[in-house]
């Protein structure tokens, strides 16, 4: 989102493909940005860039993306942070609130914010291994169940009508195209148009159980006294199941936010004086 120092929107929403520096190399990152003509047309007008994203949790990929952005937006001051910090800044009720904050979108993550600093106790090994209950997790599960014949026949028919499920197409997108995590996540939408199915309800809850066990319970002491906030499209569309699983695992659900951008705009407008 592009705004001025008072929060007034300057341009319509500009979208690009994902910019994950843990997956894409320098040229691929540059190509994604340069392919957006509207963004490049206004690049000399940009004074500050605050980027939050998957793959930015460690120094090397974070530095790579910062360099790429600075090479294109030469007049801008650039800050690159992991997506978990965006989730914190968008969900907490006041600046110094302690909370456990979870991301359930294309990817997933979970951190503890003590009111000042962010803490993680498990280092992510990326989408193919760690992203429980994320869009790419559910997309992978749907594809597996479709091919292993675990999906009910009525849903198999609907799934094959909604997507190109030819094996060659799937393998091409998974192994020869960039952003396979986003490709997998694209299948997750199917769940939310078929939530009346017992199979789908069980699939969603099983993912949330695995996420709660592996991620939320990292902070078993903290969740006794602080809320657990959620951000992301998967979280927003799974509210009912999140509350159900939270009761099983005995933690209190706080805010559930679909898109963090509005909260981030407010946060950064308030913080702009520190950049001057």
Instruction: Please enumerate in sequence order all residues whose Cβ is within 8 A of that of 111, keeping only pairs 6 or more positions apart, or say none.
Output: 84, 87, 88, 100, 101, 118, 119, 120
Task: Enter the tokens of residue 222.
Answer: 């903290």
CATH superfamily for 26-86+260-275 is ATPase, nucleotide binding domain (3.30.420.40)
In contact, 272 and 5? CB cutoff 8 Å = yes
User: Which H helix or E strand runs over 168?
Assistant: helix 167-175
Q: What is the pTM of this model?
A: 0.78
54 phi, psi to nearest 5 deg: -65, 145
pLDDT per residue as tens digits for the range 148-175: 999 999 999 999 999 999 999 999 999 9
Q: pLDDT at position 18, please?
A: 80
In contact, 249 and 217? CB cutoff 8 Å = yes
Q: What CATH topology corresponds to 93-257?
A: Nucleotidyltransferase; domain 5 (3.30.420)
**Residue found under tokens 């002491």:** 221
In contact, 246 and 228? CB cutoff 8 Å = yes
* Distance, CA of 262 to CA of 170 (rounded, Å): 35
Q: Going residue by residue through the chain (276 aa), what tens digit of pLDDT does each one get?
A: 666 665 566 666 777 788 889 888 999 999 999 998 888 888 888 888 889 887 887 889 999 999 999 999 998 999 998 878 888 988 888 878 999 999 999 999 999 999 999 998 988 888 889 999 999 999 999 999 999 999 999 999 999 999 999 999 999 999 999 889 999 999 999 999 999 999 999 999 999 999 999 999 999 999 999 999 999 999 999 999 999 999 999 999 999 999 888 778 777 777 765 544
pLDDT per residue as tens digits for the range 207-237: 999 999 999 999 999 999 999 999 999 999 9
**CB count in 10 Å sphere of residue 142:** 23
In contact, 80 and 51? CB cutoff 8 Å = yes
Classify 100 as helix, strand or coil: strand
How far is Cα of residue 264 from the mean position of the Cα atoms in its chain?
14
Q: Do domains 26-86+260-275 and 93-257 have the same CATH topology?
A: yes
Residue-range domain boundaries for the chain: 26-86+260-275, 93-257
Burial class of residue 43, CB neighbours in 10 A (0-12, 13-18, 19+) = middle
CA-based nearest residue to 267, from 56, 86, 4: 86
How far is Cα of residue 43 from the mean position of the Cα atoms in its chain?
25
The sheet carrying 99-104 orders its strands as: 118-119, 108-113, 99-104, 228-231, 253-257
């Amino acid at each position: 989102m592009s705004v001025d120092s008072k929060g007034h929107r300057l341009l319509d929403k500009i979208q690009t493909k994902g910019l994950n520096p843990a997956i894409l190399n320098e040229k691929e990152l540059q190509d994604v940005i340069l392919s957006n003509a509207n963004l490049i047309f206004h690049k000399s007008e940009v004074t500050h860039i605050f980027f939050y994203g998957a793959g930015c949790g460690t120094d090397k990929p974070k530095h790579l993306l910062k360099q790429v952005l600075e090479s294109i937006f030469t007049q801008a001051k650039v800050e690159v942070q992991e997506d978990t910090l965006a989730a914190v800044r968008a969900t907490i009720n006041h600046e110094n609130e302690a909370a456990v904050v979870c991301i359930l979108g294309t990817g997933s993550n979970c951190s503890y914010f003590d009111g000042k600093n962010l803490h993680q106790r498990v280092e992510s090994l990326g989408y193919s291994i760690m992203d429980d209950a994320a869009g790419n997790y559910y997309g992978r599960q749907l594809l597996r169940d479709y091919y292993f014949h675990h999906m009910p026949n009525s849903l198999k028919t609907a799934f094959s009508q909604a997507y190109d499920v030819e094996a060659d197409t799937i393998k091409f997108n998974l192994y020869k195209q960039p952003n396979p995590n986003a490709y997998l996540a694209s299948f997750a939408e199917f769940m939310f148009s078929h939530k009346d199915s017992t199979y789908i309800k069980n699939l969603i809850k099983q993912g949330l159980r695995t996420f709660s066990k592996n991620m939320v319970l990292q902070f078993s002491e903290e969740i006794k006294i602080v809320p657990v906030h959620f951000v992301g499209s998967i979280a927003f569309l799974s509210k009912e199941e999140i509350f159900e699983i939270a009761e099983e695992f005995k933690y209190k659900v706080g805010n559930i936010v679909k898109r963090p951008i509005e909260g981030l705009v407010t946060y950064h407008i308030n913080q702009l004086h520190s950049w001057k």
